[in-house]
Amino acid sequence: MVVVHSTRLYRRFHAPLLSSAFVFVALYWISVVIFAFLIAFFTNNLWVKESSYREQPDVAFVKRFSIKLQGVGADGMPLELSYSTVPSINTLAGNTLRVPTVRSSLSDPNLDLLSDIVRVNISFPLSERERVHSVQAVYALSYKLRNHVRLETEAPLPLTFHSGVAGRALYVDGRLKLKLANPLPIVPRVRGDEGGVLLDTSKVYTSPEASMAELMRQAASRNDSITLDPSTNAWDAALPSCGDVCGFTVALTIRIHPEKVLYIPPFIEVAKFSWIQFLATFVFLFIFTRPLLNFIMHNQIVQTVPRDDVAKAKII
């Protein structure tokens, strides 16, 4: 004889509704569900409160800045030169105001319609005997995220440098990095300048508000800020004699790469990953404890009525 087909016969265990066997099996399933949830919960990431993804931001220089140079003047007295794109700050500068030449450019080598390099050069004219030792500046940059998190903001970028040797140029080259105090929320609208606009050209600044220390403090106090990390600074020493071409240049090069963006995932995203963790833990516990349940039932440790399936012959 040849086996042409086979089916599995089950042994079924019956018990009254209020019997000890029914209560035991009910407690077994409740325990498996509870322990599966507890194991998934205490091994973390069951309910994700923070997630991340990588995105290259859209960054541009918005042609607003404030800068101050300090050093030694032609008469040997302390020298201070300043300039800002905010008219009211320039008014407060008085005799220290000096207008520089500003050049900015964007570079997109990989042609993905996102700027990979932002360059800003600020050149101050100097007399032959004027010497610069210190630079303080705040640049305003537009920063946009458009994929998962929708963010459009103008972030200030502070810059400070001091040297004991007089210089003719400061070269700063760094990678732009987003610093978040808290993960960004996923909202249907575009999240904008919640920290306010720094270097607002329409605002009339007072002397304390226009000070470089106050501008630096406002830039550092924001929850969402940008920095150059890592940053490379190069100080070019001043020439003994420069003739009619004396000047000081601050050359800033900002490199933009894809970076990690922290965000708060919405409920549907959290639930999508949570249920599969619970299900996987539940299946593992069920497979692990199933032999114990079979042993208890087959050996009648709790009283039941076993009944085997009987194959009924059919004549066709």
Q: Name the more confident of 266 and 312.
A: 266
What pTM value is reported for the model? Answer: 0.78
Mean pLDDT of 14-36: 92
Mean pLDDT score of the chain, rounded to an integer?
A: 88
Mean pLDDT of 266-285: 90
Q: Which DSSP string do the residues of 109-171 spell out, in sequence order?
A: TT-SSS-SEEEEEEEEE--TT-EEEEEEEEEEEEEEE-SSS-EEEEEEEEEEEEEEEEEEEEE
Q: Name the more confident of 137 and 197.
A: 137
pLDDT at residue 195, rounded to an integer: 62
Q: Could you tell me if 138 and 161 are in contact, meaning their C-beta atoms sit under 8 angstroms apart?
A: no
Q: Could you tell me if 265 and 186 are in contact, meaning their C-beta atoms sit under 8 angstroms apart?
A: yes
pLDDT at residue 194, rounded to an integer: 62
Q: What percentage of the chain has pLDDT greater than the value 70?
A: 95
Token pair for 211 = 């000070």
**With bands split at pLDDT 50, 70 and 90, how would you rate the model's confidence at 47?**
confident
In 3D, which of 107, 105, 169, 94 has the Cα closest to residue 135?
A: 169
* pLDDT surpasses 80 at 33: yes
CA 264 to chain centre: 11
Q: Could you tell me if 66 and 86 are in contact, meaning their C-beta atoms sit under 8 angstroms apart?
A: yes
3-class SS at 94? helix
Distance CA 184, CA 242 (A): 51
* pLDDT surpasses 90 at 238: no
Interval 152-171: pLDDT, tens: 888 889 999 999 899 999 99
pLDDT at residue 182, rounded to an integer: 85
**With bands split at pLDDT 50, 70 and 90, how would you rate the model's confidence at 316?**
low
**With bands split at pLDDT 50, 70 and 90, how would you rate the model's confidence at 243?**
low
* pLDDT surpasses 70 at 311: no
